[in-house]
Amino acid sequence: MPLALYKAYPGMDPKEVLPIIARAKNREQAAFGELYDIYASPIFRFISLKTATREQAEDILQETFFKAWQALPKLSLENLNFKAWLYKIARNLVNDHYRTLQRRPTPDTIENYYNLSSSDDTHEATAKAFDIERLRTTMNQLAPTYRQVLELRFIQEFSVDETAKIMGKTALAVRVAQHRALKKLNLLVIQSDEPYEI
């Protein structure tokens, strides 16, 4: 399948990209460039949700791919979810960034990227109920773990298993956190000055 179709349909089988990863493991720079083209945009959005400026996000994005390039030769292709692996690198680098600054991340750019996509009625209703500014304000009131699980599941559209790998949790823990996060989000809406019915 052409690379353009893969980028247009990022939810397709990750095994389709394994031959490119194998070439990149053998230090083929052109293949690694293809991987960058496929994954850079969604990873940049993920990082941007957690950083204060575009420059910080760009720096962390470049460092993410630099670390990936360094680690690729030792990476096992067996049962590999390359996308989740990249996101885990990015998440760790964001955490390192804020440990260095000794302050917590502020997701200032959520309005540019928030897209709840789920067949669950609660998710769809929540997406319709909020305007962007209220969504951002409400999301910022959630605990970091709750905010992260919603970002990964409904902004980045990871599966439960992929989210578990990125967060270093079990699939059950992700499901529980997702349920509690949505429940808390709904409660915050009800408690707002101009509540919406969800």
pTM of the shown model: 0.55
Total number of domains in the chain: 2
Q: Note whether 83 and 149 are same-domain residues.
A: no
| CATH number of the domain enclosing 166 | 1.10.10.10
Low-confidence ranges of the chain (pLDDT < 70): 1-15, 101-136, 189, 192-198
Q: What is the CA radius of gyration of the chain?
A: 18
Is residue 197 one of the residues assigned to a domain? no
| Domain-ending residue, one of 101, 121, 140 | 101
Q: Are residues 56 and 27 in the same domain?
A: yes
Q: Which of 176, 162, 8, 170 lies closest to 87, judged by CA?
A: 162
Residue 196 belongs to some domain of the structure: no
pLDDT in tens, 66-116: 999 999 999 988 888 898 899 999 989 988 887 776 554 444 444 344 443
Asked if residue 70 and residue 11 are part of one domain, the reply reads yes
Longest dimension (CA), the chain: 58
Whether residue 91 is found in the same domain as residue 9: yes
| 151 and 94 share one domain | no
Q: How far is CA 92 from CA 67, 125, 180, 197, in A?
A: 11, 32, 24, 37
- Residue 82 belongs to domain with CATH number: 1.10.1740.10
Q: 68 is in which domain, residue-wise?
A: 3-101
